């Protein structure tokens, strides 16, 4: 099975941006990368976060992947089976916090 790839390098302006933050920016990135289609695709998706990115905030994650988590039935294991993250260890921890924020959010309607 082939693997789709999303490279967040495109969001960094060639390394000028090292902090990916904000729900609205995440929502814009979701639209740019056509994540709704990736959610429906059978093939897994590799998400590459450049090594120079030191922060991917929970709010950005919620905007970018909130609907994807919901499409996975709010099942973190199923989400991580579909989305494989290649990122610095500190960013992987932030991704985990973002996932936790999505799963515990009482305002899931605002993710859309």
Can you give the pLDDT at residue 31?
Answer: 97
Confirm if 45 and 82 have CB atoms less than 8 A apart: yes
| pLDDT tens-digit readout, 49-107 | 999 999 999 999 999 999 999 999 999 999 999 999 999 999 999 999 999 999 997 55
Which DSSP category does 111 fall into? G
- Reported as a pLDDT band with limits 50, 70 and 90, residue 111 is very low
């Amino acid at each position: 099975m082939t693997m789709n790839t999303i490279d967040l390098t495109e969001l960094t302006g060639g390394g000028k941006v090292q902090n990916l933050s904000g729900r609205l920016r995440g929502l814009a990135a979701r639209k740019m990368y056509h994540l709704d289609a990736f959610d429906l695709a059978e093939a897994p998706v590799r998400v590459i976060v450049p090594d120079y990115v030191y922060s991917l905030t929970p709010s950005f994650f919620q905007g970018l992947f909130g609907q994807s988590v919901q499409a996975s039935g709010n099942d973190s294991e199923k989400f991580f089976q579909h989305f494989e993250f290649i990122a610095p260890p500190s960013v992987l921890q932030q991704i985990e916090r973002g996932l936790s924020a999505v799963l515990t959010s009482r305002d899931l309607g605002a993710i859309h």
